[in-house]
Amino acid sequence: MAVNVRRGLEIPEPSDYSSCEDDDVSYYTDLQQPDNNLPESARVINKLLNNLVDSAWEVISKQEKIKRGEEAARQIPVLNATKEMKLPGRTNSIVSSDDGLYLFLGHTHGVSVISTSTLTCVRTWQDERVEITSISCASLGNATHLLFTVDDMGIARLFVHHMENIYLIKVINETEDINQRNICAKFEVSRSGDFGAAVMTSSGSVWLDVYRFPVDVWLKELETKQATQTQQNTEAKLSPVILLMKIKPPEIPTGTSLKSPSEVLQKTEEGTIIGSGQNHFISSRQWENQDAAFKKMFMKYLSSSSAMPPQQKAEGPSNCTCHFLLREGFHSLPGEAKAARDIPIAVCLWWNGSYNLLQYLLMKTLKEKDSEPRPDVLWPNSQKILCSAISACTRFVVLGLDGQLVTIWDRRFGCPYANIVIPGDGAICRMRLLLQSQLPVTQLFQGPFLPTLQLVLTCRSGACYSVTAGRGGDTCTVALIERSADPGSSVTVAEPVPFLKFLILLMQRNGQVSIWKTEDCAPVFILNLPPTHVLGSLREPVCLLEPVQQKLYITGDRKAPLVEVTDRNKDESALFIFSFSECTLMDLYRVSSPAVSEKETRATLSDLEEVYNLYFKERAEHKKRNRNLAFQWEQLSKRDIK
């Protein structure tokens, strides 16, 4: 075998430059530096090859993702509706009684009462001129329920369902002259039925009317009139409703003649509420000077908005959101009257575009009867409030703020429980809250002071997030469905399932209904309607998740041509029932004893000493907190703190 050996080549002696002393610095600071030493033609070819490989890898990754999604969809169990019921008309709202025995439907022709055991309509209040858009319920016991409805014309009505009969008690905003009628935007009622609040609008102004309902007197009157009235009667004259207060939006602060802080505190009612901006000693001259300095500093930015009409600049709030609050915690407010545990003691509210959450006592003895009600507690926030939710025990108030911020207020201690930043750029529009530490219920009577909260947030972009929040910044945010270019994947309904552990009900704009697991961020069940029906409204589906009977009610419309869809006389709607209690596939996620009653989720606290003992006992027994403290001390010991 011939071997060609070139002669004259000698191994060069090592130079001083390549000494071992420089081995530590002989590395590339730029990953592309080896390619820069290549000729230009080789670099172009290398760049083209890299782009080709990257694009090919991107296509392969997308195909693999689609393939995995299809395979996962084939493996996800599909649940079909167990029962079906034809509805009397297009249903806009549905609510159930506390025991789950009755459903109350608000539809195009009035109100219907449905028995969940037989799925039959037991009573109906009809009016061909009325279309109910929202309905709420309060159970009074003894098969008696208060129903509050709002129709498409802004008329609020109060009904009572007693012994399978339904009676109209009062039209809240009834007037003789229809041109002077106030429009009811929404109506909220407490769980006990003792209080109600209606958001009224008229001539561009908005306010909140808070009512007191004599529930005990009504029950006695219904028992006496039950024997005399026939089933054909649809009205009942009962004791009148009491208007407690009329709350108006806070006025824009103006100049004042007060000259000292002591005068401001005297003006402030009992000196307990500070921060609303209504009582100050800033003169009108100071406001004018501040406004002039602001305009001078930002002249070029204000030039574009100077042509706007003046009425758009000074636009007031257009809506109000309120929640009724039960007694919570050991603190008492001045002027607060004693109340039973199941009766609300206060109402909290916020106005559109406001930064503050205001709280008003319901059973407060006013010194001046004709004076306007003033807030007793103010909860300040760093951004504008967009949406809100409260826990079943009303201890926690969750506020969705502008800038993807979420603040959880703890009423028991009067301080923020957690502050969370939601990823993305979509504004938060809806949220639901669930206390994970409600299970088992027996632990709640001994605490706990530091429960874990589960939040389900929906953004205007269609994204949906699940947040697990604890005290002290212990939060975990999981993106269930991120913002997508496909509008069909946007989430319209997101609600935690209280009787299934860590499962969330999601309804999307494309009509898909599924149950998701927060830990895996993937659907575990798909709920299918019959092929002949679709969701009644893809943007705002009408559904109800009933925790006692563990059922899901969804309204659907029959698929029909466009001509029949526009014809209301051919409206064929149906109510589909998914019974989760009969599904054996959900036994793995089922909660043994779900807490569905407000009375079972509140702790009874007698005095400060008992509170302190329970609080320190729980802090001492909190294993996770002890581990975190040990870790923090270990980190501090490793650092040289000077």
Q: Give tens-digit pLDDT for 41-50.
A: 887 888 888 8
Tell me the pLDDT of the chain averaged across its residues.
Answer: 77
pLDDT band for 625, please (50, 70, 90 cuts).
Answer: low
pLDDT band for 151, please (50, 70, 90 cuts).
Answer: very high
Class of domain 85-248: mainly beta
The 3-class SS string of 362-422 reads: CCCCCCCCCCCCCCCEEEECCCCEEEEEECCCCCEEEEEECCCEEEEEECCCCEEEEEEEC
User: What pLDDT digit, counting tens, does each position of 514-531 carry?
Assistant: 999 888 888 889 999 988
Give φ, ψ of 328 to 5 degrees.
-145, 135
Q: What is the mean pLDDT of residues 438-446?
A: 36
The closest of 25, 27, 28 to 36, measured between CA atoms, is 28
Can you give the pTM of this predicted structure?
0.74
Rounded distance between C-alpha atoms, residue 161 and residue 219, angstroms: 11
Is the previous residue joined to 88 through a cis bond, with omega within 30 degrees of 0? Answer: no
Indicate whether 133 pLDDT > 90: yes
3-state DSSP call for residue 276?
coil
pLDDT band for 71, please (50, 70, 90 cuts).
Answer: low
Q: What is the pLDDT of residue 624?
A: 60
Q: What is the pLDDT of residue 163?
A: 83
The closest of 544, 528, 542 to 573, measured between CA atoms, is 542
Q: Strand 522-528 and strand 513-517: pairing?
A: antiparallel
Indicate whether 194 pLDDT > 50: yes
Specify which of 227-241, 295-309, 543-557 reaches the highest per-range mean pLDDT: 543-557
Between residues 459 and 227, the one the model is more confident about: 459
Between residues 49 and 443, the one the model is more confident about: 49
Rounded distance between C-alpha atoms, residue 320 and residue 571, angstroms: 34
Q: What is the pLDDT of residue 68?
A: 75
Give φ, ψ of 390 to 5 degrees.
-130, 155
Between residues 330 and 227, the one the model is more confident about: 227
User: What pLDDT digit, counting tens, does each position of 545-554 carry?
Assistant: 998 899 999 9
Lowest mean pLDDT of 110-114, 171-175, 197-201, name the range.
171-175
Q: What is the pLDDT of residue 307?
A: 44
Q: What is the pLDDT of residue 20?
A: 47
Q: What is the pLDDT of residue 443?
A: 37
Indicate whether 279 pLDDT > 80: no
Rounded distance between C-alpha atoms, residue 161 and residue 112, angstroms: 10
Q: What is the pLDDT of residue 332?
A: 43
Q: Which of the 8 DSSP states describes residue 566?
A: S
**Residue 465 carries which side chain, given as an amino acid letter?**
Y
Between residues 297 and 494, the one the model is more confident about: 494
Between residues 133 and 278, the one the model is more confident about: 133
Q: What is the pLDDT of residue 275?
A: 55
Q: What is the mean pLDDT of residues 4-26?
A: 50
406: β partners? 400, 420
User: What pLDDT digit, counting tens, does each position of 562-615 carry?
Assistant: 545 555 555 678 999 999 988 888 888 887 655 433 344 444 445 556 666 766
Handedness of CA 407, 408, 414, 415 (dihedral sign): negative
Query: b/e for 320-335, b at 16 or more Cβ within 10 A?
Result: bbbbbbbbbeeeeeee
Specify which of 7-11, 142-146, 206-210, 291-295 reaches the highest per-range mean pLDDT: 206-210
3-state DSSP call for residue 134?
strand
The closest of 47, 183, 164 to 97, measured between CA atoms, is 164
The closest of 374, 326, 317 to 347, measured between CA atoms, is 326
Element (H, E) at 266: helix 261-267
Lowest mean pLDDT of 39-43, 161-165, 224-228, 535-539, name the range.
224-228
Q: What is the pLDDT of residue 583?
A: 86
Q: Kindly list the distances between the CA atom of residue 51 and the CA atoms of 35, 44, 288, in Å, as whole numbers in the listed order.
A: 15, 11, 61
Q: What is the pLDDT of residue 17?
A: 46
Give φ, ψ of 221 to 5 degrees.
-65, -35
**By the 8 A CB rule, do 157 and 146 touch?**
no
Rounded distance between C-alpha atoms, residue 332 and residue 345, angstroms: 11
Chain length of the chain: 642
pLDDT band for 32, please (50, 70, 90 cuts).
Answer: low
Share of the chain above pLDDT 70, in %: 68
Q: ∠480-486-489 over CA atoms, to 5°?
A: 40
Indicate whether 65 pLDDT > 70: yes
Q: What is the pLDDT of residue 487?
A: 77
Tokens 């299918």, located at residue: 528
**Residue 532 carries which side chain, given as an amino acid letter?**
T
Is the previous residue joined to 12 through a cis bond, with omega within 30 degrees of 0? Answer: no
Q: What is the pLDDT of residue 308?
A: 45
Rounded distance between C-alpha atoms, residue 592 and residue 550, angstroms: 12
Q: What is the pLDDT of residue 359?
A: 92
Indicate whether 378 pLDDT > 60: yes
Domain layout of the chain by residue ranges? 85-248, 249-281+318-329+342-364+371-380
Between residues 595 and 177, the one the model is more confident about: 177
Tokens 């041109």, located at residue: 179
Q: What is the pLDDT of residue 376?
A: 85
Q: What is the pLDDT of residue 293?
A: 80
User: What pLDDT digit, counting tens, does each position of 308-362 carry?
Assistant: 444 444 456 778 999 999 986 544 444 444 444 478 999 999 999 888 999 999 9
**By the 8 A CB rule, do 504 and 518 touch?**
yes
Give φ, ψ of 583 to 5 degrees.
-90, 115
Q: What is the mean pLDDT of residues 111-123?
A: 92
Q: What is the pLDDT of residue 189?
A: 93
**By the 8 A CB rule, do 215 and 140 touch?**
yes
3-state DSSP call for residue 590?
strand
Contacts for 120 with CB less than 8 Å, ≥ 6 apart? 114
